[in-house]
Amino acid sequence: EAQIRKGLPLLGKKVMVTAGPTYEAIDPVRFIGNHSSGKMGFAIAEELYQLGAEVTLIAGPTSQKNNTNIKRIDVVSAQQMLDACLHHFRKSNITVMSAAVADYTPVEVAEQKIKKKEDHFNIELKKTTDILATLGKQKADGQILVGFALETIDEENYAKEKLKKKNLDLIVLNSLNDKGAGFKTETNKITIFNKDLSKTAFETKSKTEVAKDICAEILKLINVS
Ligand code: CTP
Ligand code: CA
């Protein structure tokens, strides 16, 4: 295998990719989740592997299958994803955070299944740690950090704000507004902002093709540095 991979642009590079949703437990049988399928992140992990990288894929609950040459770490909650990311980030040359991490998690997890009683029922939630922002603070010279943004209004401004605030090298804006783009679909429509705020807009494409576009932008960053 080493022989076949000779000459690939990311040979010798360690990359970390997060993918899928997180599930935040309410009680032993219930959770708060989201519709992320994990497809985009798995496609990026595969493409980075094809470019020669040594890939660690940190995956939330998903039915996606990965190439067996990719090291996969399965996690469930935002906290577990944070722990896995903190463990692998330091040695990662390139990190792509495509997971749809829960922003809030229940303050308490009931030990037993919650019984239905009153007509109205509240669950108290607290903010999770922003994994991407945490890694952005720890980022060393030469490390590349790529984030995603999902917005429904004022998309470009919010994406650029996240790029700056989280100390990213690239942010991929996912357009949920366009037909055939977003969660659970086979296609995606993205715009990539570089940290110098230059912008590249792409057409709606299959997630495999979108992964190639994202990785091509990452390669450009490596070749200039
Ligand atoms: N992210 C993360 N940890 C969180 C929440 C988000 O690492 N607890 C990452 C996602 O993986 C993504 C990026 O932050 O790469 C942007 O996620 P998004 O939901 O668009 O933005 P938020 O910063 O969470 O802000 P909001 O949901 O309020 O728009
Ligand atoms: Ca969020």
Which residues does 157 contact at the CB level (< 8 Å), separation at least 6? none
34 has catalytic annotation: yes
- Indicate which atom in ligand 1 lies nearest the CA of residue 150: 20
User: pLDDT for 83-140, tens place per residue?
Assistant: 999 999 999 999 999 999 999 999 999 999 999 999 999 999 999 999 999 999 999 9
Give the residue carrying structure tokens 């700056």: 164
* Domains parsed from the chain with CATH numbers: 14-103+125-224 (3.40.50.10300)
> ipTM of this predicted complex?
0.98
Token pair listed for 222: 């490596």
Measured between alpha carbons, how far is 145 from 95 in angstroms, rounded to an integer? 5
Token pair listed for 163: 């790029």
CA of 149 to the centre of ligand 2 (A): 8
User: pLDDT for 45-94, tens place per residue?
Assistant: 999 999 999 999 999 999 999 999 999 999 999 999 999 999 999 999 99
Q: Which of 70, 194, 89 is nearest to 139 (CA)?
A: 89
- Find out whether 190 and 182 touch, Cβ atoms under 8 Å: no
CA of 164 to the centre of ligand 1 (A): 13
Token pair listed for 6: 């000779």
pTM above 0.80, yes or no: yes
